[in-house]
A and B are shown apart, each in its own frame.
Chain A
């Protein structure tokens, strides 16, 4: 069964790169949903079901940490695995994202192999 993914990043270019990396990782992606900030991501998550969410942290309107915090309060989305993809790769950001419920963390810049290494185990742990 194909994977329904949500990619949240304020850069449309980055969203396309992440999607390409997921496909290069051999993932059977179905429709990929995109949001440019956490608020848009929450709106999509409230009316759709996802198997995987990838989110930037540093975004306008609503950042990735607040997005994860709110997502975990939603019954239909709280168990969806979340992987953070961000430039803010400090230990503090990593720990905060993980403590909020994110399952993984990828720091920009990244290679397709790094995306694969971080995302595949997260999906396997859910199945």
Chain B
């Protein structure tokens, strides 16, 4: 399976439905293996988007775009605490590093699930934004996948913007 399929209009479109499933699987695997905790999919209503901490990893090559993770500071500290196996009170200073590494691993694990993409798509080092007063602009038209998760009763949103 190639990364993109041609649409009647000639624009190469990613198979978003199957990628949504692969991204969900990639997120769950990273949390299970590296955080040591399960992350769940919300049952009915989507949780609110809290973007006190935003992690971003760029993808370049055959698949070009940005993967981002948005959550609260409290949630980011809990993730760091689990990864380091220390109390949450000792983990706050590591939350940026932890969120960046989660983004990196989710992006890498996601692209590894798409046949033929592994060697044709490179990842940037992660960028972390603390605070929610920002806007993101992109010059390219693209597609977006957004997935909500719950981690210890807190919302985590994973987004994948793919530029065509």
Contact = CB atoms under 8 A, between A and B. Distances in A.
B112 A89 contact: yes
A59 B125 CA distance: 7
Mostly, the A contact residues are loop
Contact of B105 (A60, A87, A91, A93): A87
Contacts of A59: 125
Interface stretch (A11-19, A26-34, A64-72, A117-125): A11-19
Interface string B38-77: 0000000000000000000000000000000000000000
Interface stretch (B4-12, B92-100, B132-140, B144-152): B92-100
Contacts of B1: none
B30 A87 contact: no
Interface residues of B, number: 24
A107 B80 contact: no
Contact of A107 (B94, B98, B112): B112
Contacts of A109: 29-30, 33-34, 105, 109
B39 to A, nearest CB: 13
A25 B70 CA distance: 33
A107 B112 CA distance: 10
B129 interface: no
B97 A20 contact: no
B105 A90 contact: no
B101 interface: yes
Contacts of B85: 20
Contacts of A14: 101
Given A13-B97, A14-B101, A111-B33, A89 B125 contact: no
A16 B85 CA distance: 9
Given A87-B107, A87-B109, 4 more contacts: A11-B97, A13-B98, A58-B104, A108-B105
